[in-house]
Amino acid sequence: MTDSETLKDKHERNRERRYEQIKRWAAYVRTHPDEDWGRQVNTLVDAQLESARHASTARVDREDANGRE
């Protein structure tokens, strides 16, 4: 098996896992009240926004430290 075949297999397994997770999430959303899963989604989105803000601030700090504007 070549490296490219190994990588292709890995990508396929990852795709299958993502698809299975999507199916589980869809089943959860169908069987739980909006209030339950909505809070979870809000928590996730808030965390992603905070992470993006932190990454943006860190980038600006690095640019300032290197004398760039």
Helix (H) or strand (E) run with residue 41 in it: helix 34-65
Domains of the chain: total: 2
Kindly state whether residues 41 and 62 are assigned to the same domain: yes
List the domain range (segments joined by +) for residue 54.
33-69
What confidence category does residue 5 fall into, taking pLDDT thresholds of 50, 70 and 90? confident
* Residue 1: exposure state from Cβ atoms within 10 A (0-12, 13-18, ≥19): exposed
Kindly state whether residues 1 and 27 are assigned to the same domain: yes
- At residue 29's C-alpha, the angle toward residues 26 and 35, to 5°, is 160
- Say which residue, 56 or 24, is predicted with more confidence: 24
Kindly state whether residues 7 and 21 are assigned to the same domain: yes
**pLDDT tens figures, 31-48:** 999 999 999 999 999 999
Kindly state whether residues 48 and 65 are assigned to the same domain: yes
For residue 69, is pLDDT > 70?
Answer: no
